[in-house]
Amino acid sequence: MGSPQSIPAQHRRHWPLFLIGIALFLLGPALYFVQFRTKHLFVPWYVPILATVGVGLMIASLRRRRGVVRAILLLLFAVFCGLEWLMLAVGVKNPAYTGPAVAGQKVPAFAAILADGTPFTEKDLAQGNSTILLFFRGRW
C-alpha cells in the first residue's frame, strides 16, 4: 500500500466519513462498558442511536464513492445495528403483571416502609387519605 501522498485525493477524502461512522458505531458499546463498570445501570438508548448515526455516515460515504469493501462493511454494521435495536426493544419490555393486586378489588395485606422510614400497611389506606400506591416489581 502506498503512502497517503501516492493515493489520489478523490479516493482519500471519502474514507474519513466511513471511518467516523465506524467510530460512532463502536463508541456506543464502549460507553456501555464504562457505564456497566461504574455501576450506573440505566437503559442504554445511546448504543443503537449512535450505531444508527454511524450507519448513516457509512451510507453517505458509500453514496459518494462506491466500493465492494465499503458495501460489505456497511451490510455487516447495518445488521448489527438492527440487532442492537432488537435487543434493546426486547430487553426493556416487562413481562405481564401476575401479582396479587387486581384493579377494582381490595388491596391484599402488605407492609412497606415509606421513604422517611415510617411503616405503611393496607390499614393506612383504609383511613381515607389520598394515597397513590404503586406496585413495582423490581428487575435486575
Q: What is the percent of the chain where pLDDT is above 90? A: 36
pLDDT tens digits, one per residue of 25-61: 999 999 999 998 998 888 889 999 999 999 999 999 8
Pairing of the two strands 119-121 and 111-113: antiparallel
Task: Look at residue 126 in the predicted model and tell me its pLDDT.
Answer: 79
What confidence category does residue 83 fall into, taking pLDDT thresholds of 50, 70 and 90? very high
Do 69 and 114 contact (CB within 8 A), yes or no?
no
Length reported for the chain: 140
Q: pTM of the entire structure?
A: 0.59
**Which of 97, 92, 90 is CA-nearest to residue 137?**
97
Mean pLDDT, range 71-94, rounded to an integer: 90
Q: What's the Rg (C-alpha) of the chain?
A: 26
Question: Residue 57: its pLDDT value, please?
Answer: 93
Average pLDDT (104-121) is 82
**pLDDT of 95 over the 70 cut:** yes
**How high does pLDDT run on average in the chain?**
82
Provide the residue ranges of all domains of the chain, joining segments of one domain with +.
9-91
